[in-house]
Amino acid sequence: MIRVGCGFDVHAFAVGRRLVLGGVEIAHSHGLTGHSDADVLTHAICDALLGTLGLGDIGVHFPDSDNAHKDADSLTLLTQTVNTLREAGGYVVNVDVSVALQYPKLAPYACAMRERLADAMNIKLSQVSVKATTTEKLGFVGREEGIAAFAVALVEVTDD
């Protein structure tokens, strides 16, 4: 059986934090606010994967009320999410994520992001797609107040 899940996440920019997207540190004047490393891209993928099998969302599995996840590396959370998926009989076929931000430009980092994400999920590079877009200066993204990410995951289920 094949299952599809979608994920969405948003984080506001914050001074004094590093910007991490897809497990890669990005050179920028601001990072993102959050309990973990605030990797909005990776969080959207976690939600998409969990959604494929109706396993809740990232907040259920890694609540911000739990200090064990304070400043956590989101790639570690992604690996744990994939392990949870596998325990339920699910295997990642592919993930596709779009990141909405005005700046910085992500093209120079996209390959490294795909590599880090594929490694964290123990899948091939060809099974991971990372894209970026602007919002043409519209909304909170256009005003450079934060970043949004949308992810879709396809999972094959061997046990349901």
Position 35 confidence tier, pLDDT thresholds 50, 70, 90: confident
On whether 58 is known to bind a ligand per the annotation, the reply is yes
On whether 159 is known to bind a ligand per the annotation, the reply is no
Q: How far is CA 42 from CA 1, 2, 117, 135, 151, in A?
A: 25, 22, 8, 20, 9
Of 62 and 111, the one with more pLDDT: 111
On whether 76 is known to bind a ligand per the annotation, the reply is no
On whether 62 is known to bind a ligand per the annotation, the reply is yes
On whether 69 is known to bind a ligand per the annotation, the reply is no
On whether 64 is known to bind a ligand per the annotation, the reply is yes
Q: How far is CA 71 from CA 34, 109, 133, in A?
A: 8, 22, 27
The candidate with the shortest Cα–Cα distance to 101, out of 70, 63, 60, 133, is 133
Q: What is the mean pLDDT of the chain?
A: 94
On whether 47 is known to bind a ligand per the annotation, the reply is no
Q: What pLDDT, in 10s, does the model give residues 128-147?
A: 999 999 999 999 999 999 99
On whether 34 is known to bind a ligand per the annotation, the reply is no
pLDDT at 68: 78
On whether 139 is known to bind a ligand per the annotation, the reply is no
On whether 65 is known to bind a ligand per the annotation, the reply is yes
Amino acid at 152: V
Q: Tell me: pLDDT of 24 over 80.
A: yes
On whether 152 is known to bind a ligand per the annotation, the reply is no
On whether 28 is known to bind a ligand per the annotation, the reply is no
pLDDT at 44: 98
Q: Tell me: pLDDT of 160 over 70.
A: no
Q: What pLDDT, in 10s, does the model give residues 71-90?
A: 778 999 999 999 999 999 99
Nearest-angstrom CA–CA distance, 71 and 103: 23
